[in-house]
Structure 1
């Protein structure tokens, strides 16, 4: 469902995307409003589902994840039970930080973080290849980040 937002809402959302720790007073100042209307606007955007939550953006390399991989997975059967079993199983792998069902020759795209290539190889062999109905797996490694952050990075024991 699309949420109708005006110029002031956009300004508030952009400010929160840059720094979710801004106080309602700081937001009000940016929007040239008083605190109460600013708080009500933000609350309305949260309740409408436009703002899903507030998160800390973590640096994957500072956490020891030097490898970022985009993994394309094809499954044997494209039916509800096979897809559902795959989806449930992939949720249990902490190194998989994002999952998308996609169009094209593969069925899913995973974003996977790993400490190094040996760690990725272990995740691939012991976890990804053993997911239900996996037919094929193709890995593409990120060589350089240009834009974007990945949320929900796992903090694994060393």
Structure 2
């Protein structure tokens, strides 16, 4: 579905999503009109799902990140659905992932400090339904964080 020029265009756009069609045209050797048409085609095909601002939450005062590995009590048929529905409502939960295996769900939780995390944990996390076990992993450093695809 993608040709070499599409991949080249996406490589440049992933590196800097703020580039205009004219700037992308200069980098790829296409005209701005052709760049716009290719971007529109990739958006309509669902390849490009949007362009977002990446906010550094640490710069906004969130200095703590905890990864919670949660095992659910699956004796209830709707355990996953109810848990995920309610976990989505917690604003400090910045990522939710589900797994096959002993761990069912992983949450990434951010907080301003440890006291704030303790409040989120007690008033938010522990009130979520169907939790059988929780393991908390405190983030020390983010070594690599890259959503760019190797195109």
The partner residue of 1:18 within 15, 18, 22 is 15
Give structure 1 regions of 4+ aligned residues with deviation exceeding 4 angstroms: none
Query: CA shift at 1:9, angstroms?
Result: 1.2
Partner of 2:84: 87
Query: CA shift at 1:104, angstroms?
Result: 2.0
Partner of 2:108: 111
TM-score, normalisation: structure 1: 0.87
Structure 1 residues without counterparts, runs of 5 or longer? 151-158
State whether residues 77 and 133 of structure 1, in contact with CA within 8 Å, keep that contact through their aligned partners in structure 2: yes
Give the Cα separation in 2 of the matches to 1:149 and 1:113. Answer: 19
Query: CA shift at 1:80, angstroms?
Result: 5.2
C-alpha change, 1:20 and 1:79, in structure 2 (3 Å) is: farther
Give the Cα separation in 2 of the matches to 1:124 and 1:141. Answer: 13
Matched, 1:35 2:32: yes
Cα-to-partner distance string for 1:76-95 (whole Å, 9 max, x where unaligned)? 01665211111110111000
Give the Cα separation in 1 of the matches to 2:104 and 2:28. Answer: 43
Partner of 1:156: none
Partner of 2:74: 77
Cα-to-partner distance string for 1:13-36 (whole Å, 9 max, x where unaligned)? 122222211111111111111111
Give the Cα separation in 1 of the matches to 2:76 and 2:39. Answer: 40
C-alpha change, 1:79 and 1:101, in structure 2 (3 Å) is: farther
Partner of 1:47: 44
Partner of 2:140: 143
Structure 2 residues without counterparts, runs of 5 or longer? none
Query: Cα RMSD over matched residues?
Result: 1.6
